[in-house]
A and B are shown apart, each in its own frame.
Chain A
Amino acid sequence: MTGDRPNDADDGAARSTEDADVATDGGAEAAAAETEAIQTAGTSLEDLEAMLGDHVLDTEEHVNAPGVVIRPDEVQAVLSTLKEEAGFDHLSCVTAQEYGDRFESVYHLKKYADPTDEVSVVVPTSPEDPTSQSAAAVYETADWHEREAYDLVGIEYDDHPDLRRILLPETWQGHPLRENYDQDRPQIVTLRENANPLQKDHRGDPEDGDSDTMFLNIGPHHPATHGVLHLETVLDGEQVVDVESDIGYLHRCEEQMCQQGTYRHQIMPYPDRWDYISAGLLNEWAYARAAEDLADIDVPEYAQVIRTMSAELCRIASHMLAMGTFALDINGDFTATFMWAIRERERAQTVLEELTGQRMMFNYFRLGGVAWDLPEPREEFIETAREFLDGLPHATREFHDLLTRNELLQLRTIDTGVLEPETCKDYGCTGPVARASGIDYDLRRDDPYGYYDELEWDVITEDGCDNYARLLVRMREVEESAHIIDQCVDLLEEWPEDDREIQSNVPRTLKPDRDKEIYRAVEGAKGELGIYIRADGTDTPGRFKIRSPCFSNLQSLPAMAEGEYIPDLVAALGSLDIVLGEVDR
């Protein structure tokens, strides 16, 4: 199951034909056409060298992806070749880091049609002049990822449309992930120098005829932002002319905290705090999967079943909250819809509490398995889980009555906040957002892990591309998750008593080989949650990078909201279901 590359490749090949079927069913012709073009999964290093020719300076072997090293001024050429000719249409993540003798930007590429086919494009730059070409012209999503790299590591990107700091304030001095960055130097910035969001008012020159627009700050404290997000909006009447997200208010150096912790135990509590809205176990799994593949740790099947079950419970809890808060945005505060969603979420959490001892910050997964078995008496726990599952159909019916079948809600959400499939891919959107745009992409099926490929379930897609489709996808995914949990509970009930191994034998201290690199992702509640780890030969990671689905999804907000009314901007933001803890990390 884990780190077994030949098997994965086989799976991928078998799967890609399946994908084509499903995708045509779902009506995503683009996806189907691409799948057809790529008959064999798994692009090898030789393929890449043949395709890229002289561009390749050197090659690297990352744990589950071949890597090519290219010149910093050929980024766009190489990436567009890979995108156009090889079908790598998904720029999953950009990781920047400093080595002793160079800076490096690593572009992790995937295919929406087959995410097991991965490539890492490594762009080294000199430490004296860390300048490299921007990929934003090829992939829209590179915009934010490169801004983050610039902000934290200080790599300059030529041709970047808008190279500003993204997580730290404009006035920050220095780039904190550089080796020569002085942490103890106080950041003294006078109030006058600091950006004052209240000062900017009417933008646009009356003489140019632009004075009809109004600049409006939505957030950082606003009921619709679901946390501390700041939207800089330009309005024409009630219509949104321009919207730009200002993030970073909740930046807590999660990546750097993980770099301080040892692989075995000290990192696992952190993932609970990324997407802190009850998706904890899904996040833990992202770290567990990456670290297990990095250190070649096997996970017993029994533990995989428990992981699958508990992760899906988290998904239900998370989707319930997403629907509730979406209803909040459409209905108004504290309406029955919101409270009922919270009530269902509480029920899911109660089951999770029985299992893990916690309602939100679980810290339940361990490398090589889970912390403990189902609580004794087992029958009682299984009973609790079944009770929750039995109540769920009634709850989802209620939601369909209150939300999806409500004509007023349909009036509000259908054909608003439209995100076309191509735009969606360009922005690297994943999860329910992508699936609501007809993109048949779910890592649980396409890049199987855990126990998912042994179970019966479907990937939900909708072709609406609008706010309504995103709501509907979440609603139906809850039903699918319940189906998965149901099968897991049955399996756990009948699992032979002498075979209940919850953790494999893991060395007390893990020290993966120096310069071993891995980028691994799981299907989180909001989409593809990926972890990049570079080992440096010690028991802590040399570089730990989180690919947050919310970060990429949020980037697509302007594409959805420009030209719409303020209420639809709010609805579109709600339908993205972002958690600022994960956006800002």
Chain B
Amino acid sequence: MTGAGTALAAVGAATTFLQTDGNGEGTESVTLLPEWIADVLGLGGDGGIAVGALIGAFAIASLMLIQAALAGPWLKRKIAAAFWGKLGPNRMGPGGILIIVADSIRMLSKELIVPEGADRPAWDLAPLIVAGPAMLGFAVIPFGEIGGVQIQLADPDIGLVLVFAIASVTSVGFVMGGYASSNKYSMLGSLRAVAQNVAYEIPLILAAGSVVIFAGSLQLSEIVAAQGETLVGPIPSWYALVNPFAFVLFLVANLAEVGRNPFDIPEAPTEIVAGYQTEYSSVYFVLIYLGEFLHIFLGGAIAAVVFLGGGAGPVLPGPIWILVKMWAFFVFTQWARQTFPRVRIDQLIEIGWKGLLVLAFANLILTAVLVGVLEGDVDVALAAVQVIGA
């Protein structure tokens, strides 16, 4: 995470440098969700905003939890069944959807077994730390506009940095849980989780960083707005299309970040049982499980915002589109899970440090050069070339 922080600082510095170029067109003022709720409720002042934020957060959190519930017990099985040529859950309710209820009751009613020798406060806190940040990350995600209201809880200037920083806190939870479980498999899993997160967070952020150079802002709403123009003809200038290379890098690193095949090393069920979560049962397990799915959706949301134009899309309103994109990412992770063998831990680290990191840096610097040349700022281009030379 420190590595990630340094990289971010570098990107941030580059951005401020570019922004002095004066391309800061003033954003048209859109109402954020908390303000709008405060308005509707007729509450003014900071207190009103706080209430609005609370209600908005509640709504968005509920939506995300519903998504995770849909994805976890039900859609995941349906997708897997489709890959296997089977039906999947189909007995409980229409399309088997009530399996969600059955599953949650089943899991919550299990005994909460505390392993002997568990490091208590850490062991109890870990599931919260896994699930919490994944949820918190949605606070800055712009879900698109609907009727002049931007469905976003907060839009800080450093939104992109914030969302990555929050998302990476999850790995602290993995380490805590694994270390505190007093189980060697958990220990191995948590060590793997750290090694993996350190190796993949940097390429992930660098890939996103190249977008920041294009957009000239770390503010997520700005990044979305910058993708609003068209590239050629009807094709929008989504950064996935402008810089597909960065997008692919981002997707691969994101798979590792959310721990899905071929990078599901921290859990690796046939090797280290279930990794850091081996000893968790009942409600703690539900929290970790929930956290994982929220993390996948957060990963999808970041990909959508940074590379796929956020809520942009024809006909349907923004929030629907961004959900579609998040679900697309979820399906992608499931597809990878069904078909890819997992790599070995040393291979994973090698791919991360020797492959993705190098490519991500190359991409970042090339982007800087290109942007510099395109905007006619020779100094920037030269500075970038010098960096390459160095």
**Please, what's the 1-or-0 string for B329-347, where 1 marks a CB less than 8 Å from any CB in chain A?**
0000000011111111111
Q: Do most interface residues of chain A lie in helix, strand or loop, or is the interface mixed?
A: helix
Q: Does A253 contact B (CB under 8 A)?
A: no
Stretch binding the partner chain, chosen from A1-9, A179-187, A242-250, A405-413: A405-413
Contacts of A402 in B (CB 8 A): 339
B83–A336 contact, CB under 8 A?
yes
Question: Which among B273, B341, B342 has the greatest number of chain A C-beta atoms within 10 A?
Answer: B341
Interface size of B by Cβ–Cβ distance < 8 Å?
A: 28
Q: Determine which of B184, B268, B337, B347 lies in contact with A335 in the assembled complex, contact meaning CB atoms within 8 Å.
A: B337
Q: In residues 325-370 of chain B, which contact A (Cβ within 8 Å)?
A: 337-347
Known contacts A340-B84, A343-B85, A411-B347; decide if A224 and B271 are in contact (CB<8 Å). yes
**Residue of B with least CB distance to A325:** B270
Residue B132 at the A interface, CB < 8 A? no
Please give, as numbers and ranges, the residues of chain B lying within 8 Å of A502 by CB-CB distance.
Answer: none
CA distance A9 to B61 in the complex (A): 79
Measured CB to CB, the nearest residue on chain B to A416 is B344
Return the CB mask of A317-337 against B: 1 if under 8 Å, else 0: 000000000011111111111
Interface: A163 (CB within 8 A): no
Q: How far is the CB of B270 from chain A (nearest CB, A)?
A: 5
Task: Using known A-B contacts A332-B268, A334-B80, A567-B345, determine if residue A222 contacts B340 with beta carbons closer than 8 Å.
Answer: no
Q: How far is the CB of A49 from chain B (nearest CB, A)?
A: 53
Q: Which residues of A contact B272 (CB under 8 A)?
A: 566
* CB < 8 Å neighbour of A223 from B261, B262, B264, B269: B269
B residues within 8 A CB of A223?
A: 269-270, 273
A238 close to chain B: CB less than 8 A = yes
Please indicate the chain B residues that have their CB under 8 angstroms from the CB of A332 in the complex.
Answer: 261, 264, 268-270, 337, 342
Residues from chain B with a CB closer than 8 A to the CB of A333 are: 269-270
Q: Which of A216, A337, A412, A570 is in CB contact (< 8 Å) with B270?
A: A570
A409 and B84 contact, CB distance less than 8 A: no
Contacting residues of chain A (283-302) with chain B, CB-CB under 8 angstroms: none
**Chain B residue with the shortest CB-CB distance to A413:** B341
Contacts of A570 in B (CB 8 A): 270-271
A409 to B84, CA, bound (A): 20
Q: What is the 8 Å Cβ interface bit string for chain B, positions 65-93, against chain A (1 contact, 0 not)?
A: 00000000000000010011110000000
**Given contact pairs A567-B268, A570-B271, A336 touches B84 in the complex (Cβ within 8 A):** yes
CA distance A331 to B85 in the complex (A): 18
* A340 to B83 CA separation, bound complex (whole angstroms): 9
The answer to whether B338 touches A565 (Cβ under 8 A) is: no
Query: A177 in the interface, Cβ–Cβ < 8 Å?
Result: no
B341 CB contacts on chain A under 8 angstroms: 327, 330-331, 406, 408-409, 412
CA distance A335 to B262 in the complex (A): 12
A336→B79 CA distance, assembly (Å): 11
Give the complex CA separation of A172 and B26 in angstroms.
84
Point out the residues of chain B lying under 8 angstroms from A440, CB to CB: none
Instruction: State the CA gap A373–B86 with chains docked (Å).
Output: 34
Q: Mark B215-245, 1 if CB is under 8 A from A, else 0.
A: 0000000000000000000000000000000
B385 to chain A, nearest CB (A): 35
**B50 is an interface residue with CB less than 8 A from chain A:** no
**Cα-based distance from A18 to B90 in the complex (angstroms):** 58
Given the complex, which residues of A lie within 8 Å of B342, measured CB to CB?
A: 330-332, 408, 412, 567
B188 close to chain A: CB less than 8 A = yes
Q: Does A568 contact B (CB under 8 A)?
A: yes
The yes or no answer to A214 lying at the interface (CB within 8 A) is: yes
Nearest chain B CB to A404 CB, angstrom units? 11
Give the distance to chain B from A16, nearest Cβ to Cβ, in Å. 41
Interface residue A241 (Cβ < 8 Å from any Cβ of B) = no
Pairwise interchain contact A567-B339, C-beta atoms closer than 8 A? no
CB-nearest residue of chain A to B82: A336
A residues 310-358 near B (Cβ < 8 Å) are 327-337, 339-340, 343
Binary per-residue interface labels of chain B (378-389) against chain A in the complex, 1 for a CB within 8 Å, 0 otherwise: 000000000000
Residues from chain A with a CB closer than 8 A to the CB of B85 are: 339-340, 343
Task: Determine whether the beta carbon of B270 is less than 8 Å from that of A329.
Answer: yes
> How far in angstroms is the closest Cβ of chain A from B160?
31
- In the complex the two chains form, is A222's CB within 8 Å of B273's CB? yes
CB neighbours (8 Å) of A412 from chain B are 341-344, 347
Given the known inter-chain contacts A335-B338, A412-B343, A567-B345, please indicate yes or no for A328 contacting B270, CB distance below 8 A: yes
Q: How far is the CA of A327 from the CA of B344 in the complex (A)?
A: 14
State whether A339 touches B83 (Cβ < 8 A): yes
Specify which chain B residues have a CB less than 8 angstroms from the CB of A238 in the assembled complex.
188, 345-346
Report how far A325 CA is from B78 CA in the complex, Å.
22
Tell me the bound Cα distance from A238 to B265 in angstroms.
12
Which of A224, A336, A406 contacts B338 (CB under 8 A)?
A336
B176-200: which have CB < 8 Å to A?
A: 184-185, 188
Chain A residues within 8 Å of B345, by CB: 238, 565, 567
Q: Given the complex, which residues of A lie within 8 Å of B184, measured CB to CB?
A: 214, 216
A337-B272 Cα distance, complex, nearest whole Å: 21
B191 to chain A, nearest CB (A): 8
Question: Bound complex: CA of A216 vs CA of B338, how far in Å?
Answer: 29
Q: Shortest CB–CB separation between residue A164 and chain B, in angstroms?
A: 25
Chain A's nearest CB lies how many Å from the CB of B277? 14
B-contact 0/1 string along A209-234, CB 8 Å cutoff: 00000101000001110000000000
Q: What is the bound-complex CA distance between A50 and B347, given in angstroms?
A: 57
Distance in angstroms between the alpha carbons of A474 and B80 in the assembled complex: 26
What is the CB-to-nearest-CB distance from A575 to chain B, in angstroms, rounded to a whole number? 13
Cβ contacts under 8 Å, B264 to chain A: 332
Task: State whether B83 touches A331 (Cβ < 8 A).
Answer: no
Q: What separation, in Å, do the CA atoms of A477 and B292 have in the docked complex?
A: 41
Shortest Cβ distance from residue B353 to the other chain A in the assembled complex, whole angstroms:
16
Q: Which of B83, B270, B343 contacts A224 (CB 8 A)?
A: B270
B126 → A minimal CB distance (Å): 22
Residues of chain B in range 281-339 having any CB-CB distance to chain A below 8 Å: 337-339
Q: Which residues of B contact A (CB under 8 A)?
A: 80, 83-86, 184-185, 188, 261-262, 264, 268-273, 337-347
| 14 further A-B pairs in the complex, CB-CB below 8 A; given A238-B346, A329-B270 | A216-B184, A223-B273, A331-B342, A332-B261, A332-B337, A332-B342, A335-B337, A335-B339, A339-B84, A343-B84, A565-B344, A565-B345, A565-B346, A570-B271
Name 26 interchain pairs, CB-CB below 8 A, sorted by A.
Answer: A222-B273, A223-B270, A224-B271, A238-B346, A327-B341, A330-B342, A331-B341, A331-B342, A332-B264, A332-B337, A335-B337, A335-B338, A336-B83, A336-B84, A340-B85, A343-B84, A408-B343, A411-B347, A412-B342, A412-B343, A565-B344, A565-B345, A565-B346, A566-B188, A567-B271, A567-B342
